[in-house]
Amino acid sequence: MLSVNNICFAYNNTKVLDEISFHLGKGELCGLFGPNGSGKTTLFKCCLKFIRPDRGSVRFNGRDIKKFKTREMAKQVAYVPQTHQPPFPFTVKEMVLMGRTPHLNRFYLPGNRDKKLMEQAMEMINISHLADEPYDILSGGQQQMVLIARALAQNTDLILLDEPTSALDFKNQVIIWKALRRIADQGISILACSHDPNHVAWFCDTTVVLGNSGLIANGDPDRVLCQDLMDKIYENTCLVRDLEDMKMIVPKGLNRHRAQIIDFPITGTS
């Protein structure tokens, strides 16, 4: 499915990605995480052909993405950015239907199948009740859900999501991650970036962890998300605990009865 092979990328002379390699199989849900500025968005941009790596290659189903034309790429890979502001006040259903654009005929007229996929995508994300609302007046979290539904309507083999739940309340975070889990179980591969390692531990099959000096680990979250790794990337600020059969990553130094800070180092972001 998606193979990232030894890619390197620098903005001007500042190296951001250094020899990054990993593989995402069919129907796998992979959580990409790492500290601010570690290069997650840059890695996404390389995988989407928005920028060209200085070295290495990205392959999709065995074929170098350099060889894909834009429309061909859009038929196979969907991307959910963190935010998107369209220039016109489209309704939610119009926004979701835009996911069908790469599949439309030369007259760009959506057919019954396109409309059905649009409706299914809205149902899956639980936003059917917003169908006729103007997208631009929705809350940030609701807009994020519309963008996810748009990617689902695109009906691709691979979906890349950049912090899909960053603006969502707890219930909606769980709805989205469960929906991603179900979509992956149907055979679609997903690479989702998250700042919450718990989401990776609870929902993902595999993980790719970037640190300030490149790829730190990848593989099964049960193995990868250990105390050592958390100490390394989040500078001794969290504890890895087992709660029944689930892994929990919690902040270090909190009092049980209230968020009383005992010894919590504050460090700047990189």
Q: Which of 5, 18, 23, 41 binds ligand ATP (CB under 6 A)?
A: 41
List all residues 6 or more positions away from 256 whose beta carbon is below 8 Å from its beta carbon: none
- Alpha carbon distance 194, 198 (integer Å): 9
Q: Which of 204, 205, 98 is CA-nearest to residue 154? A: 98
Segment lying near ligand ATP (by CB under 6 A), choices 33-41, 94-102, 104-112, 229-237: 33-41
**260 near ligand ATP, judged by CB under 6 A:** no
> Residue 94 CB: number of other CB atoms within 10 A?
18
- CA geometry: angle 199, 82, 221, nearest 5 deg: 20
- Report the SS3 class of residue 159: strand
Q: Are strands 29-33 and 246-251 parallel, antiparallel or unpaired?
A: unpaired
Query: 82: part of which helix (H) or strand (E)?
Result: none
Q: Which of 1, 4, 16, 151 binds ligand ATP (CB under 6 A)?
A: 16
Residue 193 dihedral angles phi and psi, to the nearest 5°: -90, 135
**39 near ligand ATP, judged by CB under 6 A:** yes
Q: What's the min distance (Å) between Cβ of 121 and ligand ATP?
A: 26
**164 near ligand ATP, judged by CB under 6 A:** no
**38 near ligand ATP, judged by CB under 6 A:** yes
Nearer to ligand ATP, 260 or 267 (CB): 267
Question: Is there a contact between 210 and 218 (Cβ–Cβ < 8 Å)?
Answer: no
**6 near ligand ATP, judged by CB under 6 A:** no
Question: Is there a contact between 196 and 20 (Cβ–Cβ < 8 Å)?
Answer: no
Q: Which of 22, 28, 29, 40 binds ligand ATP (CB under 6 A)?
A: 40
- Report the SS3 class of residue 262: coil
Segment lying near ligand ATP (by CB under 6 A), choices 20-28, 30-38, 59-67, 110-118: 30-38
**86 near ligand ATP, judged by CB under 6 A:** no
Q: What's the min distance (Å) between Cβ of 9 and ligand ATP?
A: 9
Residue 3, classified by CB atoms within 10 Å of its CB into exposed (0-12), middle (13-18) or buried (19+), is middle
Nearer to ligand ATP, 175 or 238 (CB): 238
Nearer to ligand ATP, 41 or 76 (CB): 41
Segment lying near ligand ATP (by CB under 6 A), choices 38-46, 101-109, 143-151, 216-224: 38-46
State the distance between the two ends of the chain, measured CA to CA, in whole angstroms: 32
Residue count (the chain): 270
Nearer to ligand ATP, 162 or 205 (CB): 162
Q: Which of 11, 63, 139, 246 binds ligand ATP (CB under 6 A)?
A: 11
**93 near ligand ATP, judged by CB under 6 A:** no
Question: Binding residues for ligand ATP, per CB under 6 A?
Answer: 11, 16, 34, 36-42
